[in-house]
């Protein structure tokens, strides 16, 4: 019996590339970092992506050093690069961890940097990484986040070799303004709240359907639900700084969205891996 419910499609820019990264990352123990062109097209078509769109996205990802052409015997395929594998590794650490609000009494980390023009590429990477760590922007070159982010910030600064240009502090907000107002200035919490609401409104009907008479029985359907729901969830743990509850807008539904994503994962993960194994011809490792 085929699942009779429409699955929400990702409307993000570069959504096909994000889905391909999700496939390589989520199913890495089956793909082992490589997929034939034919298998990748089969998997992506099951996610609603036409073959030509997959080929075009792979070409762009090759230019971005995320995939590399690699033959295995006579079979043409693409391997995940070191850059992509780093994304997978960090994604597993972040996406599967519970996102609990920080404690207000633990304070904040403040990061200030001034990277010279000669290092502008690294400066751009640092800015992007701070955003993906959930840091808010207070002013030019001045960023803030709950104090628990500090170890990850320091790791990335060292990885980029920018220690001499970056200062990091822990602090408590002593005024003169209101801390909630400061948080709204540093983060667009209203926009994030809308995104959470959209995820819930999109995927709650799917959860209702798959736990009722139309529950998933086909591994291919489980693969589609699991992969699409998780890929669309993945950006939230990066964008949400996990602010203390006292600072969140009224009606915040971040934890509800997290519970929904994890429940869809729990229900479909095993069958999703079965489907990928059937496509790539590799048994699931126990």
pLDDT tens per residue across span 122-169: 888 888 888 888 899 988 888 999 999 899 899 989 988 999 999 999
Q: Where in the chain is the domain with CATH 1.10.10.10?
A: 15-85
What pTM was computed for the model?
Answer: 0.84
286 vs 186: CA distance, rounded Å = 45
The whole-number pLDDT of residue 286 equals 34
Q: What are phi and psi of 234, to 5 degrees?
A: -55, -30
Query: In the chain, which residues have pLDDT < 50?
Result: 1, 283-286
197 vs 201: CA distance, rounded Å = 6
3-state secondary structure (DSSP) of residue 239? helix
Please provide the DSSP assignment of 136-200 as one string: EEEETTEEEEEGGGHHHHHHHHHHHT-GGGEEEEEE----SS-HHHHHHHHS-HHHHHHHHHHHH
CATH architecture of 15-85: Orthogonal Bundle (1.10)
Give the residue carrying structure tokens 């095993």. Answer: 270
The whole-number pLDDT of residue 285 equals 42
Q: Where in the chain is the domain with CATH 3.30.70.240?
A: 108-171
> Could you tell me which CATH number the domain at 108-171 has?
3.30.70.240
Residues 6+ apart with CB under 8 A from 155: none
Q: What is the bridge-based pairing of β-strands 166-171 and 142-146?
A: unpaired
Residue (of 31, 39, 40, 92) closest to 61 by Cα position? 40
Q: Cα 235 vs. chain centroid, distance in angstroms?
A: 4
The whole-number pLDDT of residue 98 equals 62
The whole-number pLDDT of residue 283 equals 41
């Amino acid at each position: 019996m085929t699942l009779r419910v429409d699955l929400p499609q990702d409307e993000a820019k570069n959504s096909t590339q994000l889905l391909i990264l999700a496939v390589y990352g989520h199913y890495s123990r089956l793909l082992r970092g490589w997929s034939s062109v034919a298998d990748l097209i089969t998997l992506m078509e099951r996610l609603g992506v036409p073959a030509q769109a997959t080929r075009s996205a792979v070409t762009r990802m090759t230019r971005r050093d995320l995939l590399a052409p690699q033959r295995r015997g006579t079979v043409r395929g693409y391997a995940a690069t070191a850059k992509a594998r780093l994304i997978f590794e960090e994604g597993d650490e972040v996406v599967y961890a519970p996102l609990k609000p920080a404690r207000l009494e633990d304070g904040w980390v403040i990061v200030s940097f001034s990277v010279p023009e000669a290092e502008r590429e690294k400066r751009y990477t640092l800015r992007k990484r701070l955003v993906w760590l959930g840091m808010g922007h207070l002013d030019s070159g001045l960023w803030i986040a709950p104090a628990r982010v500090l170890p990850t910030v320091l790791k990335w600064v060292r990885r980029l070799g920018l220690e001499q240009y970056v200062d990091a502090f822990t602090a408590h907000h002593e005024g003169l303004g209101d801390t909630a107002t400061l948080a709204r200035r540093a983060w667009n919490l209203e926009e994030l709240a809308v995104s959470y609401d959209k995820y819930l409104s999109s995927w709650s009907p799917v959860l209702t359907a798959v736990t009722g008479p139309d529950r998933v029985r086909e591994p291919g359907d489980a693969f589609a639900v699991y992969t699409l729901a998780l890929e669309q969830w993945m950006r939230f743990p990066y964008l949400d700084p996990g602010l203390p509850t006292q600072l969140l807008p009224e009606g915040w539904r971040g934890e509800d969205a997290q519970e929904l994503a994890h429940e869809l994962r729990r229900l479909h993960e095993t069958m999703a891996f079965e489907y990928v194994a059937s496509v790539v011809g590799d048994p699931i490792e126990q």
